[in-house]
Structure 1
Amino acid sequence: MARGKTQMRRIENATSRQVTFFKRRNGLLKKAFELSVLCDAEVAVLIFSTRGKLYEFSSTSSIKETIERYKRHKKDIQAKNPPVEQNKQHLQQEMASLMENIEHLESSKRKLSGEDLGSCTTEELLELEQQLERSISSIRTRKIQVFRQHVEQLKEKGTALAVENAMLRNKLSLQQERGSNKEKATVPSADISEVSDVETDLFIGPPETSRKRAL
């Protein structure tokens, strides 16, 4: 007769559950012993019954040695490679915190814009009002500073233009004075014509004849 397959679930009947526990416990301890002998492996098994009774097996002289070895090995692995699950949980917590901060900032932004004010209490509305007044005061102060800087820049630009204008006027005045001095130093054309009208005695002929004529 074929043996039926046992379903992997808790046995409801207490007597059957106890009988199955003893059978499976003995089989597990036997398999652990065989594994340690056949494969020269260090094996340790701890079993606690539902009543809290301890059953143990160790291939070494003491099960504590195997447990200590296990702890050292686990610590070395964790030091070299941090647990993935631990990193995952840390990242999830950090992401949740960031999302919460973003949501808080978005909510504050909407409230400062005059939106979603229905859920605000009187204290929150007063705080928003004071915050807006402080922001407006800071904006006005900065605006006055910018205006003053702009006025100072215009004044400096006006001063520079005035200096440049004065330099151009002086340069123009010097050029005009030099031009008038050149005109004074030049002889007029009328005077040149008068000089050319001076009478001269010009005689063409032998020198002696010119002398007699002069006498």
Structure 2
Amino acid sequence: MGRGRSEIKRIENPTQRQSTFYKRRDGLFKKARELSVLCDVDLLLLLFSASGKLYHYLSPTVPSVKELVERYEAATHTKVWTDIQQERRAELAQVAQMCELLERELRFMTVDDGEQYTVPSLELLEHNLEAAMHKVRCEKDRKIGGEINYLENVIRGRQEERYGLCDKLAHSQTLKDVEAGSTSHNNGLDLKLGFN
């Protein structure tokens, strides 16, 4: 009797899932090897496990992965290698430009006694420093304002707590006075009626 088809879904048991992965991976690589030998095809099989580990198979007729990827790029008119390299070059150029700009600004911010500065460049420096001071003052005022609000809220909370305690104390004092007044009042009433 043949095996029935099982439903294809994720295996929940991690041990069983890993065991099935290794068995199926080996079977897939065996089929890839058979296909490349029987049909004389160039084949690259890339497989990433759930943990991110790379497994690959490259048919013996292909000298390198790079060559096969270049053939893929030529056939599909897409760029795999160069897009990544161009992105990295552009990113490096942008970072280098930013570093150069920051270094120039830093050199400009430190006034050296030995150099000759023009009046416009000194005015620009003064303007930049004033703008920076304004930003620092605004941030300082915002921080101080936040701390003042926090402390006012704490004081307000303590005052409300104090008022609540005062109300409770006054209420308990009133209850004591009422109880004390009613017992003394009852004693006087009892004496008048002749009870001891």
TM-score by length of 1: 0.40
Greater C-alpha radius of gyration: 1
TM-score by length of 2: 0.43
